[in-house]
Structure 1
Amino acid sequence: MEGKAKKGVFHRIGGALWDCLDYPPEQRRIILKLDLTIVLWGSLSSFIKYLDKSNLSNAYNSGMKEYLGIKGNELNYANTGYNIASIIFGLPCAYLMNRYNTRWFILTIEVLWSIITFCFVSIKTPLQMIVLRTILGIVECGHFSAFVFLIGTYYNKREAARRQVILQAFTVLGPMFATYIQAGASSSLDGTDGLDGWQWTFLIDGIVSVFVIICQVIFIPDILDRIKPNRFFSEADIQWLRTRRPPIKHETKPETRWGVIKEQLSWLKQWRVWAFWGFGVCQDIISLSNQSTQFWLKGWNKIKPGSYTVAQFNTLTSPMYAISFMCSVLFGWTSDTWLRGRRWPGIIAAGVWSFAIMLALAIIPVYGSKPVRFFLYYNTDVGQAASGLYWCYSQELFSHNIREAAFVAGGINVCAYIANSIVNNIWFKTANQPYVQTGHYISAVFGLFYIAIALALGLTEKKYVAKFQIGSEKESDEESISAEESTTSQDEGSSKKKDYGVVEISRSQQTEQK
């Protein structure tokens, strides 16, 4: 690789906007290829998944309720079925995405959920809705964690948060654009070819999903530990990417099935594993308050008939997702740059803001001031905006063992779905919306837990990471995020293949080449 290049103002500004812009040309080319093959298509894939996932609520409020004759809490039952399926299959998926080809694992579940999306067009009864939604939970539960795992194997501490929050931000854009698609389908396609507007929404989503899957077959690689030279990455590219790994001791893979079980049981004894799963619980419960928005808008029509149209029920929720998207970007960029790779301060900021918003939602009258209520509802997803940070954090903190990193990633969603199934069905019942003050109080409490977990991890991080470092007890912050270390050095030390190709690099013999 090329040697050190002088860094002017342009390179410093470029590096702040997108890190690899101040790398030497050859290295910049490799990182940009990663961005275009993994981050771009992973983000679009997550966009489609959350587009599909959020369309049930949009369809419910746009005619599906009346078409199927949905009563009481049947919508809650459908979402609970999704959550229970995700709970049961979440950790098995975490094992599969590490044990087998991660690329084909992702593509397989995307094909299956696209088929299910098309099936929603033809449902006739609430029971069919509940069954399909439950099956969707089975095939979708491992998707996001698989992409987090995939991205985590390639990028260093200076780069990772921005990629992870972009991936997470597209999970916010999915529901945002779903509102526009549903509004457009309801106003322009309703009745076309014998299909209602909500049916056209599922049909459009399925068609877009197929396009994204075809592109992913071409572009997405397997994880760095298993990738082989291909049309996009040469052997030299792959070897350079592997030299960017931090100098840590990698855990060896158990040789027997009992050894695998003992290893997984040992992970369950670590409080940090439960801490990251706790992040998933907190974020999911905090975000439950956002679903009150559409019900609140519909409630105004009972107070003053004609206040809002069906299209407005969908479009007036979009600023909530836009705010979450902007906060995601802000958290990611500040974490990688100004905060020098620290993830926990951004999570604390999100927790503090979420606590204040949820407390206000619980205290202020539901049908009081419209502007105030809009402001509060629009800020209910700030907690979710920080989720990209803890997903990224989980892969960095457990980078010494990719099996444990996958295990933690899979468990985050499992615990989130457990919390959702309990809290959503007791304190956020559809029949009670938008009068769910107790639910908002509970969300506020979990905003405080969000803060406490981030503090605990942040204050003990250096000591924990030092246990796995090679050659020194700790590295300075400058070394851990230095572009010089990651972009201008080349290892001459020997490399050893270990645990699905994990390469352990000795930095004691590094030399800098011009």
Structure 2
Amino acid sequence: MASDTLSVQESGPETKVVAASPYQFAKRNRPLTRRQRVLGVIWDVFKKEPEERRYVLRLDFFLFAYSLLSYIVKILDQSNISNAYVSGMKEDLKLYGQERNLFNTFFNMGYLVGSVPCQIVMNRSVRPSLWIPSCELVWAALVMCIAACKSARPIYGLRFVIGLAESAAFPGFNLILGSWYTPEELGKRMALFEMSAQAANMFSGYIQTGVYSSMNGRYGIAGWRWLFIIDGIISIPVATAGYFAIPDFPTTTRARWLSTRDRDYSVRRMEAVGRKPPKKLTVREFVRIFSSPRPYLFLLPYNISGFGSYTSYFNLWLKAVGYSVQKVNLIPTAGNGIGLVAAYVGANLSDLTGVRWPWMIVSVVPILVGAIMLSVWDIPASAIIAANFIANIGTPLQPLAIAWSAEVFQDSAATRGLVLGFGNTISYTMSAWLPLLMFPSQDAPHYKYGYQLSAAFQAAAIVGILIFLLFTKWEQKKLGLVKNDYGLMVRPDELDDRLGVVEVNRDEKTATVVKEIEV
């Protein structure tokens, strides 16, 4: 382990000695090799100095890898109802009405009830490292209970409580990831986090196909029932690992896999970015947050595109035109694969350019095009398949919006968490009833107004992105904010003490001479 250091800071005739961060000199001071530049495009740690590289890799191995795995499990447990429905569940339980949509409606109702309270709990009383894994254990057990249901009614209740438990995961992980990673690291990781949902949807199709082929009728249990049992069994060990892997926040962490030096550096790193640590949420702070127009203007582009999501109805069209059960489950996974690639490329472009909003607009456009094509409907079957596939190119939209929120709301950890919590509450509130109007089961696979409304929502999302951008720029100018080394807007006094380097000329942003002394 490297020895502790002190920094001698010389400013004109005056020299003073101050404590340094353990990794104060992690900023790259040597030119990148060609190999580092190439690998750095793929993953940013290759561009970092050895000390910081080891630190970020440790975050990736424990926090980020667990976030991905846990979210994959969440999506599996959330979306398996759709695969089960087209794999025998509909016929076995005689579900010939709106039951499929109601399963999602009750899940969404539970999710929206829990989203904001879960954020308040993690900001006020219970550590995320205890709350999120405990919620995951609850929903894993309830998912397995669906396999024993003989009718739709008990499934409604189970789906409500599963949604309530799962509401802790998505906004919780987004808040935690945004509290540990810098802007140049966050975009691609948020995209990969979102891509894990696409991967889960792919795995769900593969799992259901495998289960249906090999387990259908085993021990007298239908294949669709085995899907819930297997998904629940997968979830339990993943949930248990969360008690160890989730580090809470830099200022409150007790993670055993972080050394004392790592914990000190974590705090200083976020201070350098300008990202404020979490503090206890009070009623006064809550009122202050939501008396500003900022959260509401952000929620417009964050939510409205999702109101018109339509790719989950693709399998109903496939089944209606005569594809086998295996193909109904497998073909949509190609769209998930497109989404994986699009999310990674879009996030890398946003990290390289240092801006989020242009790539968010680029993400909305293919969803809009697909909705317009499906609105016409009287097109070849290949065009209908293409329209559903190209919508997946819009996958980067949500992770880029979340990364943007971590940056524009970096002055308040409570705002970051609550905005995402409210955003998910709005999303699931709308999802509880809007699909019943846009995509009624009895009209499948050709819906009267669903795709037309979806196109309108996508156009509104583009307008919302531009409105929030203009408001943010106006507010930053009004508050006199300046850009720091990470491209984020902070108060002028926050330009000081960036990883121990003091600015002596804020206008020109010139640093003092820093020398390292071994002690």
Q: TM-score range by the shorter chain?
A: 0.7 to 0.9
Is 1:296 paired with 2:317?
yes
Partner of 1:265: 287
TM-score (norm 2): 0.86
Q: Does the CA contact (< 8 Å) of 1:279 and 1:412 recur in 2? A: no
Q: 2: distance between equivalents of 1:36 and 1:402?
A: 24
The alignment covers a number of residue pairs equal to 478
Q: Does the CA contact (< 8 Å) of 1:281 and 1:415 recur in 2? A: yes
Q: Using the TM superposition, give the Cα deviation of residue 419 of structure 1 relative to its aligned residue in structure 2, in angstroms.
A: 1.7
Match of 1:348 among 349, 354, 361: 361
Q: 1: distance between equivalents of 2:446 and 2:361?
A: 28
Q: Percent identity?
A: 26
Partner of 1:440: 451
Q: 1: distance between equivalents of 2:147 and 2:440?
A: 26
Q: 2: distance between equivalents of 1:95 and 1:510?
A: 44
Partner of 1:378: 389
Match of 2:69 among 36, 39, 44: 44
Match of 1:360 among 359, 362, 373: 373
Q: 1:55 to 1:249 in 2, by over 3 A?
A: closer
Q: Does the CA contact (< 8 Å) of 2:202 and 2:336 recur in 1? A: yes
Is 1:387 paired with 2:408?
no
TM-score (norm 1): 0.87
Q: Using the TM superposition, give the Cα deviation of residue 460 of structure 1 relative to its aligned residue in structure 2, in angstroms.
A: 3.9
Q: Using the TM superposition, give the Cα deviation of residue 463 of structure 1 relative to its aligned residue in structure 2, in angstroms.
A: 4.7
Partner of 2:10: none
Match of 1:214 among 226, 240, 243: 240
Letter in 1 for 2:223: G
RMSD of the alignment, in Å? 2.6
Partner of 2:461: 450
Q: Does the CA contact (< 8 Å) of 1:277 and 1:416 recur in 2? A: no
Q: Does the CA contact (< 8 Å) of 1:173 and 1:322 recur in 2? A: yes
Partner of 1:474: 482
Partner of 2:435: 424
Q: Using the TM superposition, give the Cα deviation of residue 450 of structure 1 relative to its aligned residue in structure 2, in angstroms.
A: 1.4
Q: Does the CA contact (< 8 Å) of 1:154 and 1:241 recur in 2? A: yes
Q: 2: distance between equivalents of 1:356 and 1:286?
A: 12
Partner of 1:283: 305
Letter in 2 for 1:111: L
Q: 1:403 to 1:480 in 2, by over 3 A?
A: closer
266-275 vs 231-240, which moves further: 266-275
SS at match of 1:159: helix
Q: 1: distance between equivalents of 2:52 and 2:459?
A: 42
Letter in 1 for 2:284: K
Match of 2:165 among 139, 146, 151: 139
Partner of 2:108: 83
Match of 2:230 among 172, 192, 204: 204
Letter in 2 for 1:318: T
Q: 1:277 to 1:479 in 2, by over 3 A?
A: closer
Please list the CA deviations of residues 221-258 of structure 1 after superposition, one character each: whole Å capped at 9, or x if unmatched: 11222113x4321111121122222464959957xx8x
Q: 1:225 to 1:378 in 2, by over 3 A?
A: same
Letter in 2 for 1:101: R
Please list the CA deviations of residues 189-241 of structure 1 after superposition, one character each: whole Å capped at 9, or x if unmatched: 1011121111111111111112212333332211222113x432111112112
Q: Does the CA contact (< 8 Å) of 2:336 and 2:392 recur in 1? A: yes
Partner of 1:243: 268
Letter in 2 for 1:357: G
Q: Using the TM superposition, give the Cα deviation of residue 459 of structure 1 relative to its aligned residue in structure 2, in angstroms.
A: 3.2
Q: 1:252 to 1:312 in 2, by over 3 A?
A: closer
Q: 1: distance between equivalents of 2:481 and 2:313?
A: 49
Q: 2: distance between equivalents of 1:101 and 1:467?
A: 36
Instruction: Flag structure 2 segments of 5+ consecutive residues without an equivalent.
Output: 1-22, 490-494, 503-509
Please list the CA deviations of residues 88-130 of structure 1 after superposition, one character each: whole Å capped at 9, or x if unmatched: 2211111112222011111111111111111111111110111
Partner of 2:137: 111
Is 1:225 paired with 2:251?
yes
Partner of 2:336: 321
Partner of 1:336: 351
Q: Using the TM superposition, give the Cα deviation of residue 379 of structure 1 relative to its aligned residue in structure 2, in angstroms.
A: 2.2
SS at match of 1:381: helix
Partner of 1:503: none
Q: Does the CA contact (< 8 Å) of 1:110 and 1:213 recur in 2? A: yes
Q: Does the CA contact (< 8 Å) of 1:397 and 1:465 recur in 2? A: no
Q: Does the CA contact (< 8 Å) of 1:462 and 1:474 recur in 2? A: no
Instruction: Flag structure 1 segments of 5+ consecutive residues without an equivalent.
Output: 302-307, 494-506
Q: 1:219 to 1:253 in 2, by over 3 A?
A: closer
SS at match of 1:379: helix
Q: 1:239 to 1:511 in 2, by over 3 A?
A: farther
Is 1:164 paired with 2:190?
yes
Letter in 1 for 2:139: W
